[in-house]
Structure 1
Amino acid sequence: MKRRRRIVLAVLVLFAAATVGAGAFFVDAVRSREAERAALAAALPPAAVPVAQPRQATGPLVALTFDDGPSPQRTGYVLEVLKQKGVTATFFLQGDHAARHPDLVKRIRDEGHVIGNHSFTHPTFPELTPDQAREEITRTSEVLTEITGTAPTLFRYPHGESSAAADEVLAQERLSPGVLWHWDSNLAGDFECPGAAKVRDYVVAEAVDQAAILLHDAGDTVDCPIEQWDYLPQAIDALKAKGFDFGVVELADRPSAVNQGSSIRVAVPRTGPGAA
């Protein structure tokens, strides 16, 4: 009886050892196959992932830039014309207006246009204290970031009037040091309410390659006759007929001789109606 038990026990021990050995062999085999797959994957060329590239400009580039908005009176009309004409623009938004009309800010964003900071209340910066200048700039960036989810990188001074204190804030906030524009013709701008034909002529006269053209979708233009707004589709058609293409404002690493020394360039848009 004892001898039979010893035999049974020996058989069980041998069976257990064989099972463990087989399990270890199976694990090693799996690991070996995984290592082979990893080596093969590493040896394969990287997958061809298409990278979105901006389209090529079809002619000299100009940027339509709209200040002081958004406004319920005019911004919607401007957006509709831009959509119909296939143009992406740059909007320098006033913080208090943006806070009152976040739906329009979101629409500007959703339709692919570029959004910049244009201060909170449109003050004359040389008249502000350093603390007031900081409040005007940072408060607007906070409002725009909260509404759009993206912090602006472009800043345009109201009236183009800068101050040393504000320039310091712009540097600290990593905002452009003031985006100016091209204005050589001395023709009346839209805020002077000269009428559709004269605003159209102003836009066409200011159009040179890399020009940022100053326009408005709020502020004084709200009080201009409604008929003046016919200038926008007319000006776009006239510039296209002259071979111009439309871009957006971007930061650049050198001053622009076209735009009063601002460190900007006009680039082909990657989003919006003009990107296709």
Structure 2
Amino acid sequence: MMIFDEVAKTGSFTKAAEALGHTKSAVSQYISQLEADLGVRLLNRSTRRLNLTSAGQQLARRSEQLVSMLSVSVEEVVSQVAAPQGRLAITAPLAFDTGLVTPLIAELLREYPKLEPELTFTDERLDLLTHKLDLAISVGMQKDSSYHAILLGHISSILVASPEFIARHGTISPETLPQLPLITLPWQQGKTKVEKKNNSLALTSTAVVKINTSLGAMSAAINGLGVALVPKILVNQAISDGRLQQVLPDYNGEHRQVYALHSYQQQLPLVIRLLVERLKLRFALPL
């Protein structure tokens, strides 16, 4: 249709071919094929100029509208690729809120103010399709192979307690730790250990406070309920402002892999690619 529209505007096969980057014979052949498909003559041909028939004039009016609409649509798509906009739905663990995901989303919003982020922070694994999510950040082994998983990096966990708790119980050592109240998360109960080079220390205690989220475990530790093994990225700020102190700093908890999950079958949208790359850079720093 673009070829016919250009011929109608210029009144010449030669000028239309030059404008479109085709040969004159290719343009002429296309118009002849179009006339054959429609069963009506669109052009009156002469040696000097092409004139539209009444049917050609009617089609030219329609083709101009269609070409204009197509041009606008293409511009909108190109513009969106160049400047991402619209809904961006992400889920991530609670521990990744203030120290990781939210600051990166703020960066993207400053660069692309037409983005509409929808952030869901939960330690529950939400299904991408059910919840209409663009990206899910997940910690640990991925058992669901129906989604594509991009390795972002690793996080480590450390032992922490409040200054008041430490003052009340005295210096904490590998020998005294089992005698102290321990704050545990669901995946830690009964099998967690911390390691120092070749030495490992099982986290066992007769007094256990069970909490279902890392954020809750941090809050419990701040309030003096016990010693918690939590992601370092979650408690960095609390350690900096004195609400928590690291316990047995020579010992480290497990290193867990962090993935970005998506359901896109083709190339990722630009804004998702940008976020994934920035997450990778962030995880490359000490967490």
Q: Larger relative CO (CA 8 A, sep 6+): 1 or 2?
A: 1
TM range (shorter): under 0.3
Structure (1 or 2) with the greater helix fraction = 1
Higher normalized strand content (fraction of residues)? 2
Q: What is the TM-score normalised by the length of structure 2?
A: 0.26
